[in-house]
């Protein structure tokens, strides 16, 4: 199969494994195994990346811990999507200086999307001198080499030059869950929505080979994973850089043909590329969960144009109709931005009316946050913070009402749910997920965790369902 995306040669990956082995030998000479802590901010792709970082750290002979206290290596995997996320990272990275004073041999690493922002890298260089290693998401596969360089030379390392990215296969992974797993199917984004930093931090769209993805799914199914999420910034662009006629509906169908008792989910779908063929595959494949996250961002056509979303309100509503015609009970969730530069309250009313028209099961609502280097950050933004907040509150209030109404409709129904964990509330010892992914609290024996079971829904709140076996 010929492809246009560069693939990291196997010899390069073998070299990284060799560095792992060298560090493992060094670490084995220490009286107790050194500890490593990986802290993750942001999206599921970062969660998946952190599982690779932990996999590599294990190969290097580190024991993974869940606290920065006493860790020999700390890795902060960051998110740049909104200012708030960045402020939290700067605050938490700043606080690490105290631990480092007590243990000057500690290595502090920062990776993920923030590392790929030039002004962030500069600020870390100047003002956060206790940070030893900074590398962007496209350099993740070189982590063993970079860490080794820091350890052996004791100098600071910055690997943050712009990078379109490549595909790196064969890295070790240490998964966090036994039931739920992430499978990246592609990386990067070519859409350049005008508010979004991701195309600048995660490079160009590139797809993994279908056979490699399907093998990973086969292994996960054989290991007993029950809930597998296919990940990509826009999964609907899957395969555009591959030969052989692969696209996302075909991949989903092939994944659903893998034997085993599991459900497939995927994130995220750009509405402009969500096709009726995709909905057909979802409808026809029993393993494809009846759920889709389809971010609409705004209900107003002028704002959608300014966002460079490349669909209209009417086209979005048509897609939702086509989807529901095929999968009547489909769980539909979405993202929306309030206060995009230049958005008026009148235009915001269209967003409000869209959510009333669609009635999403759940909505992730965001206040616009200007990202340096994106076109939207240059636009005039006359609306006051108070107006934006008032609109935001109205949206949340409307959605909470809709979510509650949608949840009420579950009461009295039976749902085949995956019992996926122990609950925090002592009255409901277990948690489960409906096929559409809604959270259910119930009481029962922890031995049931990992099983699919029929659960009768007896009660609900805005955010969750309550049920019994
Ligand atoms: N400001 C606010 N929200 C944003 N998102 C992406 N960029 C921004 C921004 N600059 C939201 C979008 C996207 C979700 C992951 O984050 O709604 O779908
Ligand atoms: Fe950002 Fe748009 Fe790409 Fe999503 S599709 S990552 S919102 S640019």
Quick check: CB of 270 below 6 Å from ligand 2? Answer: yes
Assess whether pLDDT exceeds 90 at residue 173: yes
What is the CATH number assigned to the segment(s) 300-406?
A: 3.30.750.200
The ligand with the least distance to the CA atom of 194 is 2
Mutate to test the pocket of ligand 2, among 196, 295, 308 (most ligand atoms within 8 A of CB): 196
CA dist 411 → 178, 352, 382, 437, 455 (Å): 30, 27, 45, 16, 11
CATH class of the region 414-468: mainly beta
Res 282: pLDDT: 98
The CATH architecture to which 10-159 belongs is 3-Layer(aba) Sandwich (3.40)
pLDDT band at residue 2 using 50, 70 and 90 as cut-offs:
low
Res 44: pLDDT: 96
Assess whether pLDDT exceeds 90 at residue 184: yes
Domain extent listing, the chain: 10-159, 177-289, 300-406, 414-468
Name the closest-CA residue to atom 13, ligand 1.
335
pLDDT band at residue 96 using 50, 70 and 90 as cut-offs:
very high
Please tell me if the domain spanning 10-159 has the same topology as the one spanning 177-289: no
Average pLDDT over residues 32-56: 97
Res 218: pLDDT: 98
What mean pLDDT is reported for the chain?
Answer: 96
What is the per-residue burial (b if ≥16 Cβ within 10 Å, else e) of 206-225? Answer: bbbbbeebbebbeebbeeeb
Quick check: CB of 146 below 6 Å from ligand 2? Answer: no
Res 215: pLDDT: 98
The ligand with the least distance to the CA atom of 296 is 1
What is the distance in A from the centroid of ligand 1 to the CA of 385? 17
- The bridge status of strand 133-135 relative to strand 157-159 is parallel
Assess whether pLDDT exceeds 90 at residue 424: no
Quick check: CB of 191 below 6 Å from ligand 2? Answer: yes
**Minimal CA–CA distance to 78: which of 45, 40, 52, 116?**
40
Res 1: pLDDT: 54
Tell me the per-residue pLDDT of 110-135, one tens digit each, with 9 for 90 and over: 999 999 999 999 999 999 999 999 99
CATH of 177-289, one of 3.30.70.260, 3.30.750.210, 3.20.20.140, 3.90.1720.10: 3.30.750.210
Name the closest-CA residue to atom 5, ligand 2.
191
Name the closest-CA residue to atom 14, ligand 1.
335
CA dist 227 → 97, 168, 265, 267, 432 (Å): 39, 24, 7, 13, 12
Tell me the per-residue pLDDT of 208-233, one tens digit each, with 9 for 90 and over: 999 999 999 999 999 999 999 999 99
What residues have CB less than 8 Å from 65, skipping those under 6 apart? Answer: 35, 36, 37, 71
What is the distance in A from the centroid of ligand 1 to the CA of 368? 7
Assess whether pLDDT exceeds 70 at residue 302: yes
Name the closest-CA residue to atom 18, ligand 1.
335
What is the distance in A from the centroid of ligand 2 to the CA of 187? 12
Name the closest-CA residue to atom 2, ligand 2.
193
Neighbours of 103 (CB within 10 A): 12
Assess whether pLDDT exceeds 90 at residue 72: yes
Neighbours of 455 (CB within 10 A): 23
Tell me the per-residue pLDDT of 231-287, one tens digit each, with 9 for 90 and over: 999 999 999 999 999 999 999 999 999 999 999 999 999 999 999 999 999 999 999
């Amino acid at each position: 199969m010929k492809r246009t995306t560069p693939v990291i040669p196997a010899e390069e990956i073998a070299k990284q494994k060799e560095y792992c082995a060298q560090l493992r030998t060094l670490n084995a000479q220490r009286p107790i195994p050194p500890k490593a802590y990986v802290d993750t901010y942001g999206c599921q792709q970062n969660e998946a990346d952190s599982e690779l970082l932990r996999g590599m750290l294990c190969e290097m002979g580190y024991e993974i811990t869940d606290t920065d206290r006493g860790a020999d290596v700390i890795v902060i995997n960051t998110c740049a999507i909104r200012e708030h996320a960045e402020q939290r990272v700067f605050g938490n990275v700043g606080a690490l200086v105290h631990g480092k004073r007590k243990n000057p041999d500690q290595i502090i690493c920062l990776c993920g999307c923030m590392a790929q922002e030039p002004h962030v890298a500069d600020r870390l260089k100047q003002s956060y001198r206790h940070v030893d290693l900074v590398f962007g998401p496209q350099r993740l596969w070189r982590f063993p080499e970079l860490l080794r360089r820091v350890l052996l030379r004791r100098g600071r390392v910055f690997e943050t030059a712009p990078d379109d990215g490549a595909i790196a296969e064969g890295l070790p992974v240490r998964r966090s869950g036994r039931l739920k797993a992430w499978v990246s199917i592609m990386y990067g984004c070519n859409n350049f929505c005008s508010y979004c930093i991701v195309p600048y931090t995660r490079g160009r769209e590139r797809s993994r080979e279908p056979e490699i993805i399907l093998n990973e799914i086969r292994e996960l199914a054989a290991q007993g994973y029950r809930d597998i999420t296919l990940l990509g910034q826009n999964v609907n662009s899957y395969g555009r850089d591959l030969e052989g006629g692969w696209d996302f509906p075909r991949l989903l169908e092939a994944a659903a043909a893998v034997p085993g008792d599991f459900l497939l989910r995927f994130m995220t779908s750009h509405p402009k590329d969500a096709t009726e063929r995709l909905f057909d595959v979802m409808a026809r494949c029993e393993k494809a969960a009846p759920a889709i996250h389809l971010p609409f961002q705004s209900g107003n056509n002028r704002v959608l144009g300014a966002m460079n979303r490349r669909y209209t309100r009417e086209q979005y509503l048509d897609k939702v109709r086509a989807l529901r015609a095929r999968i009547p009970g489909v769980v539909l969730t979405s993202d929306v931005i309030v206060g995009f530069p230049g958005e008026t309250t009148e235009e915001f009313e269209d967003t409000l009316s869209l959510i009333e028209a669609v009635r999403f099961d759940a909505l992730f609502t965001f206040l616009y946050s200007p990202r340096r280097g994106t076109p939207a950050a240059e636009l005039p933004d006359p609306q006051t913070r108070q107006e934006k907040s008032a609109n935001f509150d109205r949206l949340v209030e409307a959605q909470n009402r809709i979510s509650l109404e949608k949840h009420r409709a579950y009461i009295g129904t039976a749902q085949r749910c995956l019992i996926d964990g122990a609950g925090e509330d002592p009255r409901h010892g277990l948690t489960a997920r409906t096929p559409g992914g809604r959270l259910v609290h119930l009481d029962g024996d922890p031995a049931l965790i990992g099983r699919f079971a029929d659960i009768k829904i007896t009660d609900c709140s805005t955010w969750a369902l309550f049920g019994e076996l």
